[in-house]
Structure 1
Amino acid sequence: MSDRPFWADEEYVARKPLRVPGGIQINSTRGAVARTWWSARFIAVLEELGVGGRLTRGRSYARSGQIVSLDVDAGSAVALVQGTRPAPYKARIGLRVWDKEQWGRAEQALADDAFYAATLLAGGMPTEIVEMLDGLGLSLFPDASGELSMDCNCPDATVPCKHLAAVFYLLAERFDADPFELFALRGRDRETLLSNLRERRGGVAAESDEPAAPPASVPPLSEVLNRFYDAAPSGATPPRPPVTSPDAVLDQVPEIPARVRGSTVTDLLRPAYRQLAADE
């Protein structure tokens, strides 16, 4: 068997990929795909691998809707990507899942400062979270030379191929819309993570049927009404508000049970909300 790549054979003729009716495509039509710093950080892993033209072709695949399906679960993202052959290729991106002890440390640190959870719920991700996790010996983002694995059953021997690159770009756009998807790859879906954070903050008791009694150190409201508008004590640090994404309101309304070319209506509306905020 020859070691020459299939595209180096004289009889090989480049062909356009087969169209995919209703294929999943990214919303970005030109320029950079990532709109947030965390998605850009994820794409940077792909760029560090230096695969040249495959990045461009992978971006083209993602924009033209060549991805048939994408399933994201703990530790992996598996997609079917349509190429030039009748059967789509299976592309998989794997990431090491944090174990129970590692997740325990991460969840406790997130619970100790409600700012992190509040920002995530608002559709953002504070840059401080990277330093916080690094301090725990954990990295939210994969290392291109270490814990990241990739494979595709296409004939291209180079990794990542254009099919894997297309999946990277689609994942990056999903991370733009919901940063919790990054944690899902590490082993915690949105609902489980939020439930664990509430429990660590004592939220289980607070959500019971009986209203919680105020702490003994809190004076009755009637005794402090006359001081409500007084200035804060000198040196007091005001609470920091969460960073709110322009499209955060879309996460507060019920999802419309319809899909357009494989994307939800909510995801299709996000770029418009962000553009409106950018134009202000």
Structure 2
Amino acid sequence: MSIILRSRRGAIGTRWHAVALREGAEQLLGPARVGRGKADARAGRVQWLDVEAGIVRGDVLDAEGELHQARLDLPAFRPDDRRAFLQVARSHPELPARMAGGDYPQGIEAELAASEISLLPRDASELTHDCSCLDWPGPCRHVGALVYVLVEAVDDAPALLLTLRGLALEDLVAPAGPGPGGVTPGEGTVPNGAEEADGAEADGDGPEQPEAPVFDPARTDPARLAEVVGEDVAAVIHRFYTDAS
């Protein structure tokens, strides 16, 4: 099933994050591929779009009806970049809901700039491409068409940028941390009434604890002992304790 773009003329992508993605990708495509890729995308020649960590894929039909496998790569965050991004993202508790609703606040990118990272491609050099067609070294018009389908998808769902960088919306939610004084809730606290009970026992006024049951060998079932030590030895042990009692 081909993907039909909403955009029928003019620029593709309306929200700032989609525009930024488009402009970065167009630097990679170059003027010739921009027009052809845009035309193919609007003609519905991209059959499907798959986004995963570091990779965008899709099949694109050419004018003769032949399918070509196009691919665009944007590297997932390295561990240090991931930590820096999450530190900023988790300082904005509203961010997961906003991204799920289609909004990626531009102010987040301004904060990320201090760590020299971005959820978006910072320039064309961060993007690479591949296609099964013979237009080498490319990028070909099939990659161009894939780019524009991705741009419109990101326009609606900026969380796809998280996916590309190896993240998910759930990662933006900060885990429950320690409470005041560095104590995790429920850790190092004493249940209600426990202090009083401990004090009473220390004074000898608390309730007496039941004594631990005493093992009575005379009541040992020789059949159960036999499972462990054998029937002959079990009989001797049972007889010994029975006689002693």
Q: TM-score range by the shorter chain?
A: 0.5 to 0.7
Shift of 1:144: 3.9
Residue 193 of structure 1 corresponds to which residue in structure 2? Answer: 171
Q: Which amino acid aligns with 2:167?
A: R
Equivalent in 28, 36, 47 of residue 49 of structure 1: 28
Q: Which amino acid aligns with 1:122?
A: G
Matched, 1:175 2:154: yes
**What is the CA–CA distance in structure 2 between the aligned matches of 1:200 and 1:74, rounded to whole Å?**
26
Matched, 1:122 2:101: yes
Q: Kindly indicate whether the alpha-carbon contact (under 8 Å) linking 1:112 and 1:201 is maintained by their aligned counterparts in 2.
A: no
3-state secondary structure, aligned to 1:97 = coil
With normalisation by structure 2, the TM-score equals: 0.66
Residue 134 of structure 1 corresponds to which residue in structure 2? Answer: 113
Residue 45 of structure 2 corresponds to which residue in structure 1? Answer: 66
Shift of 1:146: 2.3
Q: Kindly indicate whether the alpha-carbon contact (under 8 Å) linking 1:111 and 1:117 is maintained by their aligned counterparts in 2.
A: no
Q: Kindly indicate whether the alpha-carbon contact (under 8 Å) linking 1:111 and 1:201 is maintained by their aligned counterparts in 2.
A: no
Structure 1: runs of 5+ lacking an equivalent:
1-21, 203-209, 211-280
Shift of 1:115: 4.0
After superposition, residues 156-175 of structure 1 pair within 5 angstroms as 156-175=135-154
**What is the CA–CA distance in structure 2 between the aligned matches of 1:200 and 1:149, rounded to whole Å?**
38
The number of residue pairs the alignment matches comes to 179
3-state secondary structure, aligned to 2:58 = strand
Shift of 1:35: 1.0
Q: Kindly indicate whether the alpha-carbon contact (under 8 Å) linking 1:74 and 1:97 is maintained by their aligned counterparts in 2.
A: yes
- Larger radius of gyration between Structure 1 and Structure 2: 2
Q: Deviations over 1:248-268 (max 9, x none)?
A: xxxxxxxxxxxxxxxxxxxxx
With normalisation by structure 1, the TM-score equals: 0.59
Equivalent in 118, 128, 133 of residue 154 of structure 1: 133
3-state secondary structure, aligned to 1:92 = strand
**What is the CA–CA distance in structure 2 between the aligned matches of 1:121 and 1:54, rounded to whole Å?**
32
Residue 240 of structure 2 corresponds to which residue in structure 1? Answer: none
Residue 268 of structure 1 corresponds to which residue in structure 2? Answer: none
**What is the CA–CA distance in structure 1 between the aligned matches of 2:124 and 2:101, rounded to whole Å?**
32
Q: Kindly indicate whether the alpha-carbon contact (under 8 Å) linking 1:70 and 1:79 is maintained by their aligned counterparts in 2.
A: yes
Shift of 1:116: 3.1
Q: Which amino acid aligns with 1:199?
A: P
Shift of 1:50: 5.8
After superposition, residues 15-34 of structure 1 pair within 5 angstroms as 22-34=1-13
Equivalent in 69, 74, 94 of residue 90 of structure 1: 69
Identical residues among aligned pairs (%): 29
**What is the CA–CA distance in structure 1 between the aligned matches of 2:160 and 2:93, rounded to whole Å?**
19
When the two chains are superposed, the root-mean-square deviation of aligned CA atoms in Å is 2.2
Shift of 1:99: 2.3
Shift of 1:118: 4.0
Q: Which amino acid aligns with 1:59?
A: K
Shift of 1:151: 1.1
Equivalent in 60, 73, 79 of residue 58 of structure 2: 79
3-state secondary structure, aligned to 1:146 = helix
Distance 1:120 1:86, change over 3 A: closer
**What is the CA–CA distance in structure 2 between the aligned matches of 1:113 and 1:80, rounded to whole Å?**
37
Q: Which amino acid aligns with 2:61?
A: Q
Q: Kindly indicate whether the alpha-carbon contact (under 8 Å) linking 1:26 and 1:170 is maintained by their aligned counterparts in 2.
A: yes
Distance 1:33 1:201, change over 3 A: farther
Q: Which amino acid aligns with 1:140?
A: L
